[in-house]
Amino acid sequence: MSATQLFYLLKWEAGTPPMVDDVLVAHLHKMRSWARELFWFASCNGLDHAWQARDVEPGERALLNPWVFHQLKEAVSGLNERACRAAIQAIAEAEGRDGAQRMLGESIEVDFDSDICRRMETGSSTMSLPAEAFSGEERERVMDKLQTALAMIDAAAPLAGRLIRNATRTIICRKHSLDILAAETDPNDIGELRILNPQLDRYTVVDLVDTLIHESLHNFFAMYELQHGSFVAYQQSARLRPVSPWSGNPIPYNAFTHAILIYFALFHFYLKLYPSGAEFDRSRVESLLAKCARGFRLENLDACLRECGASPSWLFDLYRVMSDDVRAAYA
């Protein structure tokens, strides 16, 4: 990864670093390759005659669908008939969607009630509780807040809006009666962003701004790592669990490297948002700025990274540059 491009990307500077689109192009190429392997396997094994004679690749929208990614990854990992049929069905359903879904920013589907949206995942912070139905008024409220949040991002940092559209294709909205707010992504569902209880008043527009940028960066890094491997070795990530100065939680080392990059990006976004003419809770943005800066003002974070000797040198060098940058901007 180009540390120079990444540094300027995460500062949301004018101009678009090539990697913003290159990562998406490489991801789409990977999906096309997986789809060709899937159809070849289906043809060899007499599965789904309608797909054996297919001479047109699935469209870009279908290939970038997170559930299609999930099923394609399963299929090419094992190439068994069950997984193959599930992937074919996922592609067919994605291509057959009528375009009437609720859309954010023209390319991001907002899903409130599909079977995929309502699925259960026991290890998930957003999908481990049974999904409850949104009222029509709640759906409109969520859409209004999401549209306001994305418009605020586009106005303050257009490059951030572009990255969000490249990296995130579906927003899963879940509702539960427990008064819990959460958001997450999963590298097994690249392009999916999950939000729990966005209909609640305390999930503010500024919080949704934070969610869209934070989780879309996770999706962006997941696309990159799918092509090039993890920023740090798996054994190292599993062995080391530094405490995040932003959340206060011990997290795997690879997640820690993501956190450094993401909070640097959020810090610079809020620097751009704060003096803008947008209407927002200024005290909330001040609090988020302070939170983002916190980790870059701790000397022991440098020591923590130095102990992880197998870290890529570019990552450690980039962290030091980012730390100096934040300290200068937030003295």
- Hey, how many other C-beta atoms are within 10 angstroms of the C-beta on 110? 21
Greatest C-alpha distance within the chain = 66
Q: Domain range holding 135?
A: 101-228
Looking at 188, 206, 228, the residue that finishes a domain is 228
Residue 250 lies in a domain: yes
Query: What is the rounded (10 degree) CA torsion for 16, 22, 27, 29?
Result: 140
Judgement on whether residues 296 and 193 belong to the same structural domain of the protein: no
Residue 312 has pLDDT above 80, yes or no: no
pLDDT in tens, 93-134: 998 776 557 999 889 999 999 999 999 999 899 999 999 999
Distance CA 165, CA 219 (A): 11
Judgement on whether residues 252 and 263 belong to the same structural domain of the protein: yes
Judgement on whether residues 268 and 315 belong to the same structural domain of the protein: yes
Residue 5 lies in a domain: no
- pTM metric for this prediction: 0.93
Distance CA 151, CA 105 (A): 9
Confidence at residue 30, expressed as pLDDT on a 0 to 100 scale: 97
Residue 26 lies in a domain: yes
Judgement on whether residues 105 and 224 belong to the same structural domain of the protein: yes
Judgement on whether residues 114 and 210 belong to the same structural domain of the protein: yes
Q: Which two three-digit tokens encode residue 105?
A: 């920013």
DSSP state letter for 179:
-
Looking at 73, 96, 119, the residue that finishes a domain is 96
Listed residue (246, 172, 187) closest to 218, CA to CA: 187
Distance CA 192, CA 109 (A): 10
Judgement on whether residues 184 and 236 belong to the same structural domain of the protein: no
Long-range contact list for 240-249, CB < 8 A, 24+ apart? 240/308, 242/304, 242/308, 244/295, 245/294, 245/295, 245/298, 245/301, 246/291, 246/292, 246/294, 246/295
Judgement on whether residues 117 and 164 belong to the same structural domain of the protein: yes
Residue in this structure with the two tokens 């067919």, named with its chain if needed: 92
Judgement on whether residues 264 and 328 belong to the same structural domain of the protein: yes
pLDDT in tens, 137-167: 999 999 999 999 999 999 999 999 999 999 9
Judgement on whether residues 105 and 223 belong to the same structural domain of the protein: yes
Looking at 37, 62, 96, the residue that finishes a domain is 96
* Residue 316 banded pLDDT, cuts 50, 70, 90: confident
Judgement on whether residues 277 and 312 belong to the same structural domain of the protein: yes
Judgement on whether residues 263 and 218 belong to the same structural domain of the protein: no
Judgement on whether residues 221 and 309 belong to the same structural domain of the protein: no
pLDDT in tens, 164-188: 999 999 999 999 999 999 999 999 9
* Residue 268 banded pLDDT, cuts 50, 70, 90: very high
Residue 2 lies in a domain: no
Residue 144 lies in a domain: yes
Residue 7 lies in a domain: no
How many independent structural domains does the chain possess? 3
Residue 158 lies in a domain: yes
Q: Which two three-digit tokens encode residue 253?
A: 């080392």
Residue 294 lies in a domain: yes
Confidence at residue 319, expressed as pLDDT on a 0 to 100 scale: 85
Comparison of pLDDT for 54 and 133, the residue scoring more = 133
